[in-house]
Copies of this chain bind each other. A is one copy, B any other.
């Protein structure tokens, strides 16, 4: 990513242009009467997520993030108390969004078989990890050790919610014989297989998320897309 991202830093002035800015202090921007603090914060989050994913948390400087969001070096600290707080916000956003998407996904599976529900969970998980705007959850997965204890425990609550969505489905499949391994270890191994895709998946190559979902279902429960 280039050191300047002027385009995203200056959205065209639209309906939200106000005469009296609400910003606490600082001078007005050249071309805009108002900045949307929420958008600037989001810009920072997105830039941080992308950099944390590609370089890792410790190897990314707050200056990198500021530059990617089109700001000066000290400005991220206007939006976030510390670099740690930025990391936490990225992860929290990632888990929150992933949970919401999986809940929607399961909702659409009302009355369907456990096999079909597992397929939905797997596919949505791949999309969360590999699809558009997919930097947040991989950061959560691969940078957990950079959090302090308090942050980690807050996030682990969300993680527990996420894993809880899988358990009844896996239990059902284990009871029916489709899933051979004990549910607890099966969940850890299965999610590991999916999470590792972050390391090797390349959208420029042949496989699609649908291909991965088919392969994972075949591997874990011996079923392809056809069988519901």
Chain A residues at the B interface, C-beta cutoff of 8 Å: 54-59, 142, 144-146, 179-182, 185-186, 188-197, 199-200, 207, 211-212, 214-216, 218-220, 222-224
A197 in contact with B192 (CB, 8 Å) = yes
A56 in contact with B145 (CB, 8 Å) = yes
Residues of B within 8 Å of A145, CB to CB, are: 54-56
A193 in contact with B189 (CB, 8 Å) = yes
Residues of B within 8 Å of A59, CB to CB, are: 57-58, 146
Residue A146 contacts which of B56, B179, B185, B190 (CB distance < 8 angstroms)?
B56
- A188-B197, A193-B196 known; A182 and B215 CB under 8 Å? yes
* Most B CB within 10 A of own CB, among A190, A196, A220: A196
Residue A189 contacts which of B142, B146, B216 (CB distance < 8 angstroms)?
B216
B219 in contact with A180 (CB, 8 Å) = yes
B222 in contact with A180 (CB, 8 Å) = yes
Q: For A182, give the chain B residue with the smallest CB separation.
A: B215
B181 in contact with A216 (CB, 8 Å) = yes
* Most B CB within 10 A of own CB, among A59, A145, A185, A186: A185
Residues of B within 8 Å of A195, CB to CB, are: 192, 196
Tally of this chain's copies: 2
**CA–CA, A14 to B219, complex, Å?**
55
Minimum C-beta distance from A210 to chain B (A): 12
Minimum C-beta distance from A186 to chain B (A): 6
Q: For A201, give the chain B residue with the smallest CB separation.
A: B188
Residues of B within 8 Å of A211, CB to CB, are: 185
Q: For A54, give the chain B residue with the smallest CB separation.
A: B145
B146 in contact with A181 (CB, 8 Å) = no
**CA–CA, A217 to B188, complex, Å?**
14
Q: For A186, give the chain B residue with the smallest CB separation.
A: B219
Residues of B within 8 Å of A185, CB to CB, are: 207, 211-212, 215, 219
B142 in contact with A181 (CB, 8 Å) = no
B207 in contact with A196 (CB, 8 Å) = no
Residues of B within 8 Å of A57, CB to CB, are: 56, 58-59
- A145-B54, A146-B56 known; A192 and B181 CB under 8 Å? no
Residue A190 contacts which of B179, B181, B193 (CB distance < 8 angstroms)?
B193
Residue A56 contacts which of B58, B180, B181, B212 (CB distance < 8 angstroms)?
B58
